[in-house]
Homo-oligomer: A and B are copies of this chain.
Amino acid sequence: MDSESKLPGRVVVREVGLRDGLQSIARTLPTADKRSWLRAAHAVGLREVEVGSFVPARYLPQLADTAELVAFARTLPDLCVSVLVPNLRGAEAALASGAHAMIVPLSASAAHSQANLRKTPDAVVAEIGRMRALRDASGSTTLLEGGISTAFGCTLQGAVAPAEVLRLVQALLDVGVDRISLADTVGYADPLAVRRLFAQVRELAGDRLWAAHFHDTRGLGLANVFAALQEGVARFDASLGGIGGCPHAPGASGNVATEDLAWLLRSMGIDTGLDLPALLALRAQLVRWLPDEPLHGALWRAGLPRTLAPQPEVPA
């Protein structure tokens, strides 16, 4: 058991269902329901939430209330409020909203970058450099996070070379991002690739290596989480009920389900501050909010096992 000592004692789960999940669903969840979701997410112990995306409403009408949600989420104590921004205009909106962090996606796949943003990866890096300058000029404390997507492969391009991911990590560090995250956007990662790449990125980025974002498209989501934990990664994105798929693989399940991730961590005695029964109750509420959407995950079906000891910490 050579890796046990590396496992973090505490892990932060970042809920991304309100952004990554809802953007892939045709219906627009009313703002009032999103506020209820945020309030409940905070109550179950979540302390980082990605609440939306500053993209033009004509592209993602589901997320048009992002500024309003940031304002509401900032009223919840000790909640780190993130938003996704695709470009400099989005960054301006994020800074104006008072979000604590803005996450900028950068495709390691050149083909995906063109298809998604009509820019090369290096053009995106340059834009992120301009966001850093904008943030500094504004005097804002909003953190700047580069989120490298398709880091393990791409539906359009196929293989993505780890060397290219590492080159982009260095480029992001050079333009001054505060944090770097890696995303397996289309479910191509495997546990060995995860261990190798995160170990290499850690060498370059040190403490600026922030979160891992895994999709469960082919069932390997939690195995990949365990692999990343063994490399000391201590922050994971997840979405309630596993909502949020890949637009290139219709019907494929999307993000790792928050409740399953919480269970994986809890089962190994890793502190998340999350109240699992309350999290399952919130998932049941999501079913009512999104009655026609297929949700994912496994824990909700079987429930918590009898061996579950009392929570080490129950959030207030």
Chain A residues within 8 Å of B, Cβ to Cβ: 1-4, 7, 153-155, 158-159, 186-188, 190-193, 195-196, 199, 216-220, 222-223, 225-227, 230-231, 249, 251-253, 257, 260, 263-264, 267-269, 297-299, 301-303, 305-307
Contact = CB atoms under 8 A, between A and B. Distances in A.
A10 B1 CA distance: 21
B307 A158 contact: yes
Given A1-B195, A2-B3, A220 B222 contact: yes
Interface centre among A153, A159, A230, A297 (most CB of B within 10 A): A230
Contacts of A2: 2-3
16 contacts: A1-B195, A3-B195, A153-B305, A158-B306, A159-B307, A190-B267, A191-B264, A192-B269, A216-B298, A217-B302, A218-B260, A219-B260, A219-B298, A220-B267, A226-B226, A252-B301
Identify the 5 closest CB pairs spanning chains A and B, nearest first: A219-B298, A190-B267, A252-B302, A219-B260, A223-B223
A196 B269 CA distance: 14
A7 B268 contact: no
A298 B192 contact: no
Contacts of A196: 1, 4
B191 A268 contact: yes
A305 B187 contact: yes
Given A226-B226, A226-B227, A227-B226, A302 B191 contact: no
B230 A192 contact: no
A191 B222 CA distance: 10
Nearest to A192: B268
Given A188-B305, A268-B192, A307-B153, A298 B253 contact: yes
B218 A219 contact: no
Contacts of A257: 219
Contacts of A218: 260, 263, 267, 298-299, 302, 305
Nearest to A190: B267
A86 B243 CA distance: 43
A107 to B, nearest CB: 15
Contact of A263 (B219, B269, B301): B219
Nearest to A5: B2
Contacts of A267: 190, 192-193, 218, 220
A251 B220 contact: no
Contact of A306 (B155, B216, B220, B307): B155
B4 A264 contact: no
Contacts of A305: 153, 155, 186-188, 218
Contacts of A297: 219
A67 B72 CA distance: 67
A12 to B, nearest CB: 19
A127 B7 CA distance: 42
Contact of A192 (B4, B191, B199): B4
Contacts of A264: 190-191, 219-220, 223
